[in-house]
Structure 1
Amino acid sequence: MKAVEVFISGRVQAVGFRAFTRRNAVMLGVRGYVENLDDGRVHAVFEGEDHQVEKMLELIWHGPRFSEVREVKVKPTDRAGHTGFDVR
């Protein structure tokens, strides 16, 4: 099992980024959450099997159609035992 905290920068708010992230997380079986930050970034926590989390990290670099991801910062975090994937 793997858990990471992710900060995504670029044009990532008001482009459907959170819905995109949730849809892909549910499809892959990744647990956690995604939320907008006041500074314009998106913050997410992904928990799951290594290959599930790695695929999520790959997908968020592409984002939804009108997004433009410029930077993705990833740091390991402790698993919190999320049971689903929430948009906050």
Structure 2
Amino acid sequence: MSLVRAHFRVTGFVQGVGFRYFILRQAFDLQLNGWVRNRYNGSVEGVVEGPPEKVKEFLDFCRRGPAMADVQELEVQYEKPQGETSFRIRETI
């Protein structure tokens, strides 16, 4: 099975609205691996790895965000998979 890795950054009103936990739940439901974290500049950054069609579905959730969020932009860069084995929330940077 081929896997892809997407490094993403979400900007807009995406902190203080449960965005990371929303993303964690979507990754769990889709059985994807990676991580997500807040950045001090107000954005949310993360990495997701899995089958291409599930990663695409996950990124669609990132574009919408939870009900209280206002996503302005989703930037995605595809990278070589690194073998992530779980999905977790990381420390803010």
Name the TM-score, length of structure 2 as normaliser.
0.92
CA-CA distance at 1:79 after TM superposition? 1.4
Query: Who is 1:28 aligned against?
Result: 30
Residue equivalent to 1:70: 72
Residues 46-87 of structure 1 show CA distances to partners (whole Å, capped at 9, x for unaligned) of 100001100001111111110000000000112121111001
Q: Count how many residue pairs are aligned between Structure 1 and Structure 2.
A: 88
SS of the residue corresponding to residue 10 of structure 1 reads strand
Of 75-84 and 9-18, more deviation after overlay is shown by: 75-84
- The equivalent of 1:81 in structure 2 is 83
- Once the two structures are superposed, the pairs formed by residues 1-88 of structure 1 within 5 Å of their partners are 1-88=3-90
1:43 maps to a residue whose letter is: E
Give me the whole-angstrom Cα distance separating, in 1, the residues matched to 2:80 and 2:45.
16
Structure 1 unpaired stretches of 5+: none
Question: Structure 1 runs of 4+ off > 2 angstroms?
Answer: none
Equivalent AA in structure 1 for residue 47 of structure 2: V
Q: Distance in 2 between matches of 1:85 and 1:31?
A: 4
Distance 2:82 2:17 in 1: 28
